[in-house]
A and B are shown apart, each in its own frame.
Chain A
Amino acid sequence: MSNQEKHWEKSRGLLFITLAIWFVFSIGIFLFGAEMNEVTGPFGYPWTYWFTCQGSLGAFVILIFWFANRQEKIDEEFGFSEREDE
């Protein structure tokens, strides 16, 4: 397998992990919205309510930065990161 194929395989792996986490926060938890809302969560808000107005939103922000850093590492590992003069 060529260097480029390995790079793409790893990038695709990262994509699947990212999308899986995304799925949990954007869809997964809302499958159980009614049950989860009975429980008191962070700062005293009901859990589902908190996720819809803050939790999921914040998780997305963190997830994107985490993804960007991981992808940069993968690019460096295979020598595909951009040079400054490009």
Chain B
Amino acid sequence: MKGNFIDNLPKVYGIYTGGFIGFIIIMAIAEQMGMSAKAIGIAFVAFTVFIYALIGWLSRTAQADAYYVAGRQVPTVFNGMATAADWMSGASFVAMAGGIYFKGYGYMALLVGWTGGYVLVASLLAPYLRKFGCYTVPDFIGTRYGGNLARFSAVVVLTVASFTYVTAQINATGTIASVALDIPFQYAVYIGLISILLCSMLGGMRGVTWTQVAQYIVLIIAYLLPVFWISNKMGAGFFPHFMLADEVARIGELEQQFGFVKNAAADLKTVPKGLAGITKAHSAVNATPWAFISLALAMMMGTASLPHVMMRYFTTPSVKAARKSVGWSLFFIFLLYSSAPMLATLSKLSLIDPNLPTGIIGKSIAEVQAIDWYQNWNQANLMFVSDFNGNGTLELNEFFMGGKAVVLATPEIAGLPYVISGLVAAGGMAAAMSTADGLILAIANAISHDVYYKIIDPKAETAKRLLVARVLLVVIGFAGATIAAMEIQGILGSVIWAFDFAMSGLFFPLVLGVWWKRANRQGAIAGMLGGLAAGTWYLVWVRTGGSGFLGITQLTFGIFGSAVSLVLMVVVSLMTAEPDKATQKMVDDVRVPSGKTILGKSH
């Protein structure tokens, strides 16, 4: 191929996409010829992970700016794809449709929150941080406010938030690897971890960028293909996004007809852990405005504070490109997020509508228990029925499912060939891996660049810095995997907490660093540490039986944390001396796109 790699990107990824579709077709033919479901699952996961590892190896580098910011030459659209993969985690891919399926409208606050945050990223932060020319988020804090303590506080907040997030992602890769490869979860977690490290260790940000683009392509095909296929197969419409109004209305009718019967506590004890029934209306408004808005707001501000997202915009060639790139990121995210409610609708209707051949509500319990897919997913601990009222018929309140099953099991329930289930497993793996990569890299880079190089040993050679960065990558990965293997918390819970931690400590110090010249070091340190401490205190308080106030729950504790952070930052800044002339000049320079970056190309 002629020309350099960047110019050839559309061609390279075009061939890659074609190759992947070819692989799907080969697997479909192999299935017809009698290849077992298990072998197809293994082939999908192994083949895609091998490709990512290959890309990771081809992107190896020994240069600091390639390792930390991919050489700042990632084109707008491709950076958008990489950010979308970085962003959409195992939780988005596997758990989002499930959450909407069970909780309906109240849960969809996450859809709004996880997209609306990008408006804040584009308008408040990304272009300015790109102009700054930093390698990491603490790099910005450390230079803007000055001093090792400010830098270190930012590293602390970053580590708390990202580490909470990464254990959930490693957990998700482990779950998918254990299902697809049929091995125990405790081992699968480490297989997931090794795959993650293969992508990031040699090439740092450069390797992660090009694998994330590849992972986005896999995950979006894996998500959209089944949604369109199921919709067509059910006769719901060729283009589900525009044509499911009747189905949504039909679910409402069925809910009226069945009613939401509350189960007795004793009955619920017999349901396996982690499974839930349908207890909330699908499309009716069932949350108070504040419950909805506070969750959306927390997720939006969290989005604009999460370092692994922010650092993706350090890799664009220019400030202008950083802004546009945020738009493209959100466009690629939109493709999946707007499809999740459609998948939830199709999945729910196909299970509960007695008029459809796949519907199970109203059938006899014995009949349901004899269905192949029910037996499979019951064995995987993701589905459960029980005849609470003893009438022999399955009622809506007697059917339980795991959140993951909506994405993982719906293709099988709708009668799609197994090749689609294999594809979905590969997509889930891609989603969880790409996010885990971004997070582990964010933590390791912050510690290697900001703590080791900037604070401990400023004279270290590039080779030594990159060695430290790689060792940290492995150490943090293993620490994450070890905690993930203990299975302390569900995937989604820890993801939401990560947003709350990030916004508690980082949102206002970052935003005011650009938008308020008067903000100074003392204020920023108080804001970061005070905000994080306040948020953490609130979480612990609510978790240990505290009643909370203003309707702030353990999922939205960041609202309290960031409010404390804002107040502390403003009050302490005003009580202490204003930043020196050089710092004020720096802020002025950050505000215009032209001219040199604040920090040099290599620093």
Contacts and interface: CB of A to CB of B under 8 A. Distances in A.
Contact of A49 (B105, B127, B318, B340): B105
SS of A interface (majority):
helix
Interface stretch (B9-17, B140-148, B490-498, B590-598): B590-598
B591 A11 contact: yes
B97 to A, nearest CB: 11
A80 B113 CA distance: 33
Given A67-B122, A80-B592, A57 B105 contact: no
A82 B319 contact: yes
B241 interface: yes
Contacts of A79: 594
A66 B278 CA distance: 40
Contact of B593 (A34, A43, A45, A80): A80
B111 A68 contact: no
Interface residues of B, number: 55
Nearest to A2: B588
SS of B interface (majority):
helix
Given A26-B300, A30-B292, A49 B324 contact: no
Interface in A17-59: 18-19, 22, 25-27, 30-34, 37, 43-46, 48-49, 52-54, 56-58
Given A19-B123, A30-B289, A44-B245, A52 B594 contact: no
B579 interface: no
B246 interface: yes
Interface stretch (B34-42, B44-52, B326-334, B444-452): B326-334
Contact of B245 (A8, A43, A56, A67): A43
A57 B338 contact: yes
A72 B320 contact: yes
A52 B105 contact: yes
A44 B246 contact: yes
A50 to B, nearest CB: 9
Nearest to B246: A44
Q: Which 9 A-B pairs have the closest CB atoms?
A: A44-B245, A53-B341, A26-B116, A68-B323, A64-B327, A52-B108, A80-B592, A49-B283, A22-B119
Given A8-B591, A45-B245, A80-B594, 5 more contacts: A37-B284, A46-B283, A52-B111, A72-B323, A75-B320
Interface of A: 4, 7-8, 11, 15, 18-19, 22, 25-27, 30-34, 37, 43-46, 48-49, 52-54, 56-58, 60-61, 63-65, 67-68, 71-72, 75, 79-83, 86
